[in-house]
Copies of this chain bind each other. A is one copy, B any other.
């Protein structure tokens, strides 16, 4: 079945790369993954002819990687916001988890892509996802080390603690995305408890090492 010509959307200037990304985002959802989007569909949603797509992206894969780049920006917002809230009060885990969950709701599906689709796709796509996750983990590791200098006991293997927290928060966040608000709050509480277990366990293991080791 062939579709009619794309309907042009009312707009001010020429179509930009950002408009094509926004069109792709609009098509994505709990039942549609990036890998199932077609160039034709995205072009139609953006109001451009399929051939014009190539002025902005080499192929759909390059578009998918660009979406992950945007999602990375959303992640960096989480980190900034969490640091702001933690520095304002004494508690660490809950305000950080809440900053993450609020950004998940606020950023219009960008984090959703990162959380939902990291393990299916081209190598370039998966590498882009891993890059964003690693950068998040590095920031978290630095924060854990900083906390253990001022406020917390030393933790066992901070890089691994950061990785465990990141992966767990992301996978739990992915299951929370499609839930009603009440259920999301429960998931937030669960994540807070889980992160506390990891941090407390890492501190207990570090204390045990100290006793046995030196």
Residues of A at the B interface (CB closer than 8 Å) are: 30-33, 35-36, 115-117, 119-123, 126, 130, 156-157, 160-161, 163-164, 167-168, 170-172, 174-175, 177-178, 190, 193-194, 196-205
Which residues in B have their C-beta under 8 angstroms from that of A33? 33, 35, 120
CB distance from A59 to the nearest CB of B (A): 14
Residue in chain B with minimal CB distance to A200: B201
Besides A196-B201, A199-B201, 8 more A-B contacts (Cβ < 8 Å) are: A31-B120, A31-B121, A160-B194, A167-B171, A167-B172, A197-B201, A198-B201, A200-B200
Q: Are A196 and B205 in contact (CB under 8 A)?
A: yes
CB distance from A27 to the nearest CB of B (A): 13
Determine which residue in A123, A163, A167 has the highest number of CB atoms from chain B within 10 A of its CB, and name it: A167
Selected contact of A36 from candidates B36, B160, B161, B205, CB within 8 Å:
B36
Q: A167-B168, A168-B168, A193-B157 are in contact. Are A175 and B205 (CB under 8 A)?
A: no
Q: Are B194 and A204 in contact (CB under 8 A)?
A: no
Q: A200-B205, A202-B197, A204-B204 are in contact. Are A122 and B31 (CB under 8 A)?
A: yes
Q: A116-B120, A170-B171 are in contact. Are A198 and B205 (CB under 8 A)?
A: no
Which residues in B have their C-beta under 8 angstroms from that of A115? 119
CB distance from A186 to the nearest CB of B (A): 11
Which residues in B have their C-beta under 8 angstroms from that of A161? 197
